[in-house]
Amino acid sequence: MDIKEIEGFLKFNKIKPSHHRLKIYEYLVKSKNHPTADLLYRELVNEIPTLSKTTVYNTLNLFVEKGAAQLITIDESENRYDADMSIHGHFKCKDCGKVFDFPLNFAAIDMGGLQNFQVEENHIYLKGLCNECQAHKKK
Amino acid sequence: MDIKEIEGFLKFNKIKPSHHRLKIYEYLVKSKNHPTADLLYRELVNEIPTLSKTTVYNTLNLFVEKGAAQLITIDESENRYDADMSIHGHFKCKDCGKVFDFPLNFAAIDMGGLQNFQVEENHIYLKGLCNECQAHKKK
DNA sequence: AAATATATTGTAACGATTACAACTTTTATA
DNA sequence: TATAAAAGTTGTAATCGTTACAATATATTT
Ligand SMILES: [Mn+2]
Ligand SMILES: [Mn+2]
Ligand SMILES: [Zn+2]
Ligand SMILES: [Zn+2]
C-alpha cells in the first residue's frame, strides 16, 4: 500500500489528506502494531519535527469518526488504534505487551444470546502469553 | 446469594472479608450492572458514609488480583468491574451506555488463527443499540 | 494491654486525553 | 493576484480516572 493508495483511501473516507494525516495513516497501515497515541507520536516526531501530540490525538479521533480506523480498548489505561477495519481478533501478551492480530470466524460467535441487540461493532480481545514469551519462561 | 455466601466466597479467594469489601462485592453481585469505580462509590456512600473512593479502587484491584472479579475495558476512558467470572460476552449500548451480558459459546472462537498463544483471558465486547433504544429511535 | 499487622482515609501526584485560543496553511472569492 | 474565509496545527492549560503515600483507625497476635 503506497502513499497514493493511502491518499485515495483517506479521500474515500471523506478525510482531507494533509501531510500529517497521510504519515499517521501510513504508520498505522505499515506497522500493524496497534500503537497508542504516544507511541505514534514518538515514532513520527523524528521524521516530522513540527508534529504535535494534539495533532496525533485529533487525527486518530478523526480516523475513528470517519470509519478509517478503529479504537482498540484492550488496555486498561491507554487507547490503541488499528487501520485494519476487517473483522479480526486481538491477542495481548501479558509479558511483552505486544498486541497481535488473529483471524476470526465471527459468525460462530454472534449467536442466540443477544436478544434483539443491534450490533454495530465487535471487539474480541484475548490475553495471555505469546509464543516467544512462553519460550523465555521455560528457560 | 446472601451476605454469608459472599463472605465465604471472598474467603475462598483469600480475601479477608471486611465490611467495606463485603458491601462492594455484594453490590457487584446483586446489581450486575458492571459499574465503574465512581458509580460504585456513589451508590454505596449513602449506606457507608465513611467510604472513600481510594478504598473502592483498592478493593476492586484486590478482587481482580485474587480472581474474584474481572476488569472490563469496554469503555475507552473508564474501567468497569464484574463479579461474574463465568465466560460470557458484554454488549454496550451506544445510546444509553448500559452494559448487558450475553451467553457465549467460547469454543467457537478459540480456533486455528492464534498460533501457539497461551490464552488466559477472553473479552468479547459488542457495541450497538439495545432493544429499548432502538424502539426510541423509531419514534 | 501492648505490639504488630491490616484496612481505610484524605490529599497530592500522575498520566492519558481534551479544551481552547493563537497561529499557519489551504481553499474560495473578488 | 490580492483578500477573505475555512481548515489544519500547535502549545499550553485543564480535565478526569487512577495511583502513591503518609496518617489514622481497626483487627489480630503476643
Ligand atoms: Mn488489528
Ligand atoms: Mn458481565
Ligand atoms: Zn510476549
Ligand atoms: Zn440503550
Fold of B3-82: Arc Repressor Mutant, subunit A (1.10.10)
- Identify residues whose C-beta is under 5 A from ligand 4, the ion: B 93, 95-96, 130, 133
Please give the DSSP secondary-structure letter assigned to residue B36. B
Q: How many CB atoms lie under 10 A from the CB of residue B76?
A: 10
Interface contact B123-A120, CB threshold 8 A? no
Which of B117, B119, B127, B138 to mutate to probe the A interface, most A CBs <10 Å?
B117
Domain B89-138 class, CATH top level? alpha beta
Q: 3-state DSSP helix/strand/coil percent for chain A, to nearest 5?
A: 40, 20, 40
pLDDT tens across A105-139, in order? Answer: 777 665 666 778 999 999 999 999 999 999 887 76
* Cβ of residue B55 lies below 7 Å from strand C: yes
Beta strands in chain B (DSSP E): 70-72, 80-82, 89-93, 99-102, 118-129
- The reported pLDDT for the residue numbered B138 is 72
Could you tell me the distance, in angstroms and rounded to a whole number, from the CA of residue B133 to the centre of ligand 4?
Answer: 4
Please give the Cα distance from B139 to A12 (Å, whole number).
33
Q: pTM for the full model?
A: 0.94
Q: Which pLDDT value is given to residue B104?
A: 85
> In 10 A of CB A49, how many CB atoms?
7
Task: Say whether the CB atom of B11 is under 7 angstroms from strand C.
Answer: no
CB-CB neighbors (< 8 A) of B105 in chain A: 108-109, 111
What is the distance of C-alpha B21 from the center of its chain? 15
Q: Which residue of B has its CA nearest to A114?
A: B102
pLDDT surpasses 80 at B112 = no
Per-residue pLDDT of B31-88, as tens digits, reads 999 999 999 999 999 999 999 999 999 999 999 999 999 999 999 999 999 999 999 9
Would you call B80 exposed, middle or buried from its count of C-beta atoms within 10 A (0-12, 13-18, 19+)? buried
Query: First and final CA of chain B: distance in angstroms?
Result: 40
Beta-carbon-side half-sphere exposure of residue A4 (alpha carbons within 13 Å): 0
Q: Return the domain boundaries, chain B.
A: 3-82, 89-138
Nearest-Å Rg of the Cα atoms of chain A is: 17
B67 contacts B10 by C-beta, under 8 angstroms: no
